[in-house]
């Protein structure tokens, strides 16, 4: 009898082990996802542009002005303010907007770009600083994290560098 029970128990143990091995990734994935979800992790503002400070409505499109983004310790990032024009398919062919970045009611920069007829073409733009708080640039596309004019999905993202000398004032 013992000779018959031993192989049955061995096979039952093998089936149980296989069953546990198949289910383990699903149980662990849920536990791992819950742990990450409760950890309070978020994507750095360097990549997202920060959080929206205010929205300016225009005729058929809107302009979202973000909070200024400053680099962290040991990070070589020039501070910037992100501006998003959306939806891009509602923008005029030539965009020339004066935008208040700091919320004081006075325009701080003039953003100019021409929407390319070919959707695969790179977008280039200019930013003219109307005061010393921000740095101008000419004919920029995707130069750096803090100086860019790019079209992503159905949005045009413009990042205007903050003048470090004036940032503390």
| 73, pLDDT greater than 80 | no
pTM of the model: 0.72
| Mean pLDDT value across residues 62-80 | 85
Q: Which residue has the higher pLDDT, 121 or 68?
A: 68
Question: Residue 86's pLDDT band (boundaries 50, 70, 90)?
Answer: very high
d(CA 69, CA 72): 9
Separate counts of helices (H) and strands (E) for the chain: 3, 10
| Cβ within 8 Å of residue 164, ≥6 positions away | 78, 79
Domain ranges of the chain: 1-41, 45-167
Q: What is the mean pLDDT of residues 89-97?
A: 89
* pLDDT of 156 above 70: yes
In this structure, are residues 116 and 100 in contact, taking their beta carbons and an 8 Å threshold? Answer: no
Task: Give dist(CA 48, CA 53) in Å, integer.
Answer: 13
Count CA atoms closer than 13 A to 39's CA, side-chain side. Answer: 10
Structure confidence at residue 167 (pLDDT): 55
35 has a pLDDT exceeding 90: no
Which spans in the chain are helix H? 2-38, 45-48, 164-167
């Amino acid at each position: 009898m013992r000779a018959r029970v031993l192989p049955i128990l061995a096979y039952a143990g093998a089936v149980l082990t296989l069953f546990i091995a198949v289910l383990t990734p699903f149980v662990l994935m849920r536990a791992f996802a819950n742990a990450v979800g409760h950890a309070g992790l978020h994507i750095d503002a360097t990549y997202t542009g920060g959080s929206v400070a205010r929205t300016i409505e225009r005729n058929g499109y809107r302009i979202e002005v973000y909070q200024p983004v400053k680099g962290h310790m040991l990070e070589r990032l020039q501070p910037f303010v992100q501006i998003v024009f959306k939806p891009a398919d509602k923008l005029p062919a030539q965009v020339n907007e004066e935008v208040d970045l700091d919320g004081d009611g006075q325009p701080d920069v003039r953003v100019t770009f021409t929407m390319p007829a070919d959707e695969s073409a790179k977008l280039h733009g200019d930013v003219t600083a109307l005061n010393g708080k921000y740095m101008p640039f000419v004919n920029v596309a995707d130069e750096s994290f803090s100086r860019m004019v790019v079209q992503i999905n159905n949005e045009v993202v413009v990042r205007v560098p903050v003048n470090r000398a004036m940032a503390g004032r």
